[in-house]
């Protein structure tokens, strides 16, 4: 299946992401609060683009069940993850105005632009492959951290969100529909799916790395 092959091809990128200092420190509860704050503000920007990308997938689909799945995923992403952001922003004293005034970093800008461009330029199967790593890697990272994180970890609500059963079911559903479409496409589109999956995996690592360094625009 596409998903099995794609994950195997990108196992080294996932392992680099899993062991990145951001996720290592988050699991230990020692991640610098400014780095997590930076990450959450950028993730708020990313979340809007990701929900839009899911909405584009719904618009591109001719299957009623898939339309419901993608549009529902977009709605859940905005409701559940925005609630998570709101909770942490309240703790940090971050206002909506501050989030709006903070531009996406180079990596965030690249990632959100990649997803939106994928939605408008690529076949649906390729577009789903571009979105799948965000679902899948977050679940795996969430489960990995959940297994070792202390109950009083300051990032516990983030950990519990991505290690939760509801999120896991959404990931399984996205894997299943991506595999179903992959089985229907030719070699050229399948190659495009693999290229998009790999690029998204790379961008996932870069997103966390950028947050850990609190990176911004160099000029």
- CA-wise closest residue to 128 among 88, 67, 179, 75: 179
Contact by Cβ (8 Å): 149, 29: yes
CA-only gyration radius of the chain, Å? 17
Start-to-end CA span in the chain (Å): 44
Query: In angstroms, rounded to a whole number, what is the distance separating the alpha carbons of residues 71 and 51?
Result: 9
- CA-wise closest residue to 39 among 155, 202, 137, 174: 155
Query: In angstroms, rounded to a whole number, what is the distance separating the alpha carbons of residues 76 and 106?
Result: 27
List Cβ neighbours of 144 (8 Å cut-off, separation of 6 or more): 18, 23, 27
Ranges 102-116, 152-166, 182-196: which has the least confidence:
152-166
pLDDT, tens digit (0-9, with 9 covering 90-100), for 2-34: 999 999 999 999 999 999 999 999 999 999 999
pTM: 0.95
3-state secondary structure at position 7 = helix
pLDDT, tens digit (0-9, with 9 covering 90-100), for 201-211: 999 999 999 99
């Amino acid at each position: 299946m596409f998903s099995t092959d794609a994950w195997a091809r990108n196992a080294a990128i996932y392992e680099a992401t899993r062991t990145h200092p951001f996720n290592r420190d988050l699991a230990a509860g020692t991640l610098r609060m400014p780095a997590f704050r930076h990450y959450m503000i950028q993730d708020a920007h990313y979340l809007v683009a990701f929900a839009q990308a899911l909405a584009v997938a719904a618009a591109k689909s001719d299957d009623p069940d898939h339309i419901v799945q993608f549009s529902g995923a977009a709605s859940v992403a905005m409701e559940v993850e925005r609630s998570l952001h709101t909770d942490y922003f309240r703790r940090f004293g971050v206002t909506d105005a501050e989030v709006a005034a903070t531009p996406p970093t180079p990596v965030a800008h690249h990632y959100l632009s990649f997803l939106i461009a994928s939605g408008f330029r690529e076949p649906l199967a390729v577009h789903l492959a571009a979105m799948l790593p965000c679902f899948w890697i977050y679940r795996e990272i969430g489960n990995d951290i959940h297994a070792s994180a202390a109950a009083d970890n300051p990032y516990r609500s983030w950990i519990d969100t991505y290690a939760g059963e509801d999120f896991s079911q959404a990931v399984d559903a996205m894997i299943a529909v991506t595999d179903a479409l992959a089985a229907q496409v030719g070699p050229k589109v399948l190659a495009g799916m693999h290229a998009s999956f790999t690029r998204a995996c790379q961008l996932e690592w870069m997103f966390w790395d950028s947050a850990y360094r609190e990176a911004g625009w160099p000029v």
